[in-house]
């Protein structure tokens, strides 16, 4: 294998900080964990930082199950929690001494170059080697959001994310062979499932010869806030004691399907639905990116059955928070066992208020 990232890392230099953005359901976490596992298999130390507007993240549970000591920033995006993000990265460095830190901003966020990359370049260039901003694109979502009849607010976020990217990658190349045209980009496909395109992407982000944060957006923050608030967010976590043992797949798959059915029946459009089921015997993450779409899974499908599970559910959808709560509670009540809710949070994201916003490329 001729990939450049196989060459020895220079341990006397700060760690690479790689931000991977993209709209909800684009496959950011799946790519980060696949890339992290690949680097770790080569003996590289890797840190992971995840981000969400709320708490109790499926992706954090998944990263931990994959063996990563994941940090998370909750209650706001990296830009609005910039100081907290930097402190989290510094704690990862102190604890793990990583050569690479993989970080995933909230899927509804944009303007990352002005509010995260430029401040890091100006204020913390001695602590992190900043990689080019990668934005991931789900081909099916792109087809929908590029149509003239697409939801104008969601399409606005999607187009702005692409416009500021240093690198754009189409995900799920194991499922799609045709990709839409994205004006002004040279988007290439990759697959976190098969590994296709990941070595080449790692070559590019770790090479130190591609500019990071080379583009700044012209963006209307009022419209940006309206677009984020168009989505309802729900995070739920609970414990489940089943009457009869089920495998993680037999639990999480039908639960995701039931939620899809109930949301569709209520006229609520799914942006991203994630269900994570974990027992002492194994775990599984099931994701749905649009109503009626085939679910995707992460984790072993052959884990043995169990009667006790920790469940985590994250839902982003075009509906009022109280409607999302009602749908989720109905689905949870239909589970074949006793459920104890540990955490329930449903809301619309507040308007973004970045700690920093640079108007020039550093």
pLDDT tens digits, 89-99: 999 999 999 99
Compare 272 and 55 and report the one with higher pLDDT: 272
Distance CA 122, CA 141 (A): 35
Q: pLDDT by residue (tens digit) across 301-334?
A: 999 999 999 999 999 999 999 999 999 999 999 9
Confidence of residue 3 (pLDDT cuts 50, 70, 90): low
- Average pLDDT along the chain: 93
Is there a contact between 73 and 51 (Cβ–Cβ < 8 Å)?
Answer: yes
* Same domain, yes or no: 285 and 200: no
Q: To the nearest whole percent, how much of the chain has pLDDT over 70?
A: 97
Domain boundary residue among 228, 260, 276? 228
Confidence of residue 13 (pLDDT cuts 50, 70, 90): confident
Q: What pLDDT does residue 184 have?
A: 85
One domain for residues 140 and 218: yes
114 belongs to a structural domain:
yes
Residue 8 lies in a domain: no
Tokens of 327: 């749908």
Mean pLDDT to the nearest integer, 226-244: 96
Please tell me whether residues 274 and 334 are part of one structural domain: yes
Query: Under the phi-then-psi rule, with left for phi > 0, alpha for psi from -120 to 50, and beta for the rest, what region is 123?
Result: alpha
Instruction: Say which residue, 201 or 11, is predicted with more confidence.
Output: 201
C-alpha span between 177 and 35 (Å, rounded): 22
In three-state secondary structure terms, 356 is coil
**Count of domains in the chain?**
2
Say if 268 falls within a structural domain.
Answer: yes
Domain end (from 167, 195, 228): 228
Domain extent, residue 205, equals 13-228
Token representation of residue 225: 């806030």
pLDDT at residue 348 is higher than 90:
yes
- The residue among 212, 228, 244 that closes a domain is 228
Whether 6 has a pLDDT exceeding 80, the answer reads no
Over residues 104-124, the pLDDT tens digits come to 999 999 999 999 999 999 999
Q: Are residues 42 and 130 in the same domain?
A: yes
171 touches 135 (CB < 8 A): no
Counting every residue, how long is the chain? 362
pLDDT at res. 2:
46
Residues 6+ apart with CB under 8 A from 354: 79, 80, 82, 111, 114, 115
Domain of 125, CATH number, reads 3.40.50.300
* CATH number of the domain encompassing residue 238: 3.30.70
Q: Count Cα atoms within 13 angstroms, Cβ side, for 133.
A: 26
pLDDT digits (tens, 9 = 90+) for 117-165: 999 999 999 999 999 999 999 999 999 999 999 999 999 999 999 999 9
CA distance 139 to 170: 6
If we measure between CA atoms, which residue out of 78, 347, 352, 80 comes closest to residue 226? Answer: 352
pLDDT at 355: 97
| Confidence check: pLDDT of 169 > 50 | yes
The neighbour count for residue 344, using CB atoms within 10 Å, is: 16
> pLDDT confidence of 4, banded at 50, 70, 90?
low
Please tell me whether residues 176 and 319 are part of one structural domain. Answer: no
* 70 and 191 share one domain: yes
Q: What is the pTM of this model?
A: 0.93
Angle between helices 198-206 and 28-41 (to 10 degrees): 80
Looking at the fold, whether 178 and 252 belong to one and the same domain comes out as no
322 shares its domain with 201: no
The sign one gets for the Cα dihedral 272, 137, 277, 65 is negative
Q: Measuring CA to CA, which residue among 304, 322, 171, 302 is closest to residue 234?
A: 322
Quick one: pLDDT at residue 208? 80
In Å, what is the CA distance from 243 to each residue of 7, 308, 337?
53, 9, 5
From the list 253, 331, 233, 326, the residue with the least C-alpha distance to 294 is: 253
φ, ψ at 283 (rounded to 5°):
-150, 160
CB 272 within 8 A of CB 295: no
β-bridge pairing 306-318 and 167-170: unpaired
Q: 204 and 74 in one domain?
A: yes
**Is pLDDT of 11 > 70?**
no
The confidence score (pLDDT) of residue 92 equals 94
Q: Is residue 355 part of a domain?
A: no
In a domain, 254, yes or no: yes
Residue 279 lies in a domain: yes
> Dihedral (C-alpha) 235, 241, 243, 245: value to the nearest 10 degrees?
90
One domain, residues 204 and 280: no
The pLDDT-based confidence of 12 (bands split at 50, 70, 90) is confident
pLDDT for 320 equals 96
Strands 100-104 and 46-51: parallel
Mean pLDDT of 297-304: 92
Residue 315: closest CA among 332, 337, 298, 335: 332
- Residue 352 is assigned to a structural domain of this protein: no
Residue 1 has pLDDT above 50, yes or no: no
Q: Could you tell me if 292 and 308 lie in one domain?
A: yes
Least confident interval from 55-59, 214-218, 274-278: 55-59
Q: How many CB atoms lie within 10 A of CB 155?
A: 18
């Amino acid at each position: 294998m001729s990939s450049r990232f196989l060459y020895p890392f220079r341990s006397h230099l700060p760690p690479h900080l790689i931000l991977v953005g993209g709209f909800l359901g684009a496959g950011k976490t799946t790519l980060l964990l696949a890339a992290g596992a690949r680097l770790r298999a080569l003996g590289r130390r890797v840190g992971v930082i995840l981000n969400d507007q709320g708490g109790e993240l499926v992706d954090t549970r998944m990263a931990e199950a994959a063996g990563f000591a994941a940090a998370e920033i909750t209650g706001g995006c990296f830009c609005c929690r910039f100081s907290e993000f930097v402190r989290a990265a510094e704690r990862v460095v102190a604890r793990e001494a990583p050569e690479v830190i993989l970080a995933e901003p909230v899927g509804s966020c944009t303007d990352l170059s002005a509010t995260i990359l430029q401040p890091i370049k100006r204020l913390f260039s001695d602590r992190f080697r900043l990689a080019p901003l990668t934005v991931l694109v789900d081909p099916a979502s792109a087809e929908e959001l590029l149509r003239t009849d697409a939801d104008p607010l969601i399409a606005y976020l999607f187009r702005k994310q692409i416009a500021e990217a240093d690198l754009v990658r189409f995900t799920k190349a194991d499922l799609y062979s045709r990709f839409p045209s994205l004006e002004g980009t040279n988007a290439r496909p990759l697959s976190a499932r098969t590994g296709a395109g990941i070595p080449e992407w790692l070559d590019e982000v770790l090479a130190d010869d591609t500019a990071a944060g080379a583009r700044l957006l012209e963006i209307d923050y009022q419209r940006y806030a309206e677009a984020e608030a168009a989505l309802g967010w729900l995070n739920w976590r609970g414990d489940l004691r089943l009457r009869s043992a089920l495998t993680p797949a037999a639990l999480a798959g039908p639960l995701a399907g039931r939620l899809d059915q109930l949301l569709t029946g209520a006229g609520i459009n799914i942006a991203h639905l994630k269900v994570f089921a974990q027992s002492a015997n194994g775990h599984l993450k099931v994701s749905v990116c649009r109503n009626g779409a085939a679910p995707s899974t992460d984790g072993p499908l052959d884990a043995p059955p169990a009667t006790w599970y920790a469940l985590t559910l994250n839902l982003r959808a075009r509906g009022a928070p109280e409607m999302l709560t009602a749908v989720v509670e109905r689905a949870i009540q239909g589970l074949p066992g006793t459920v104890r809710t540990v955490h329930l949070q449903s809301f619309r994201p507040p308007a973004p208020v970045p700690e920093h916003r640079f108007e020039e490329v550093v």
